[in-house]
Amino acid sequence: MMSKVSASKLLALLAAYSAASYSSDYTYGYTPNVAAGGTNWNMSSTVLGVDPVPGLDISGVLYRYTAVKERQDPFVVSIQNEDAINGGFVFREQDDWSGRSGATINKLVPLPYTPIERWGDGSIETTGVGSVVDPAVVYTYRFKPPEPQLSDLPALPAYNALYDDAVINATAETDRDLYEDDEVEKDKDEEEEKDMEKALAALQSGLEMAKGQNALLQAMNPVTMTQYYATTIPGGTYQETVILDGGQIKDNKRAFRSMANDRLHTKMVQEQYQ
């Protein structure tokens, strides 16, 4: 027989097992082109198109631009975001065009989910000879509103019974005047009770008198009742009223034929045993 402790452990295990199978509800999306206004941008809601609140994680950066340069010239383009918490860069992708012709590049850089709090200002920086034309930078993200923390809840005022009016009134000294009035009330109640007892007594005696009178009346006028089931009800015979029109009922010759067949059959069977 299982003890109470092991049963509660099983309950907890069952609850944990079922909780693990629940899925979280994320919303996925992407921002508009954050480089539409230039090669430097901040991560505000105006630029991102979403509020940069806790629960928003960046999952990738998609960028596109045209590098205009001569093949022999050195040219490096960096797409980057500062790390607002740890310093340095939270994201930096470099394209080295040195010794290559210019072209339009369209690239996606996937990232592990990184909270928006780490993402500082973004920029496209170039070093060398060349230029970046028509830049476009888009962030892909997921968002889930965070669970409310205990510290987020508003503080409740502490309850002090010493300042509660109800407690003060209950513990205050009793007013003697009120108490005396109570005694008067008590006397009144007692009187009313006595009056009630008198009334009941009167009623009782009245009933008893009525009983006595009833007995006297019965003695004077005896009335007998005959019981119902002892009474006989006169009856008679219910004659048959159905009359068959059309004469006699004729015998069914088919039945006779069948019976004759049966008789013959029986005779044939019995002949086997002769």
Partner 1 sequence: MYRAIVLFLLAFPALGHEMTPTYPKFKPSHVEGVFKAELEMFNKRKDVEFYEIGVFDADWNPVQFVSRYKVMRLDYLSHVRFDIYVSAMDVPVAEYVCSVSKLRENSDKKPMIATRICSKFKP
Partner 2 sequence: MKKILLACLIAGTAQAAEIPIEGTVQSRCLINTDVAGVYGNPNAYTLTTTPADGGVLPIVRYDVSLADAYKARITYPTAFSASPSLSDMVTWTGSVTVSEVSAVGMADYQTDSITYDQTREYDLTATGTTWFQVASTATYGGGGNKAFPGGTYRSVVVAECIAQ
Contact footprint for partner 1 (CB under 8 A): 60, 62, 107-110
- Out of 5, 16, 17, 232, the only residue in the binding site for partner 2 (CB under 8 A) is 17
Whichever of 30 and 55 has its CB closer to partner 1, that residue is 30
Give, for 81, the enclosing helix (H) or strand (E).
Answer: strand 75-83
Least Å from the CB of residue 157 to partner 2: 42
Rounded to the nearest 5°, which phi and psi values hold at 9? -65, -40
213 binds, among partner 1, partner 2, none (CB under 5 to 8 A by kind): none
Whichever of 44 and 66 has its CB closer to partner 2, that residue is 66
Measuring CA to CA, how many Å separate 168 from each of 52, 132, 161, 179, 243? 52, 80, 9, 19, 104
Letters for 40-69 (x = contact with partner 2 by CB under 8 A, - = none) are ------------------------x--x--
Number of H helices, E strands in the chain: 5, 8
14 binds, among partner 2, partner 1, none (CB under 5 to 8 A by kind): partner 2
The answer to whether residues 34 and 140 touch, using CB atoms and an 8 Å cutoff, is no
- Out of 70, 96, 134, 182, the only residue in the binding site for partner 2 (CB under 8 A) is 96
- Out of 92, 100, 118, 142, the only residue in the binding site for partner 2 (CB under 8 A) is 100
Beta bridge partners of 93: 79
Q: What percent of the chain is helix, strand and coil (3-state, nearest 5)? A: 40, 25, 35
Q: How far apart are CA 26 and CA 19, in angstroms?
A: 17
Whichever of 27 and 106 has its CB closer to partner 1, that residue is 106
> Which residues contact partner 2 by CB under 8 A?
2, 7, 10-11, 13-14, 17, 64, 67, 71, 95-97, 100-108
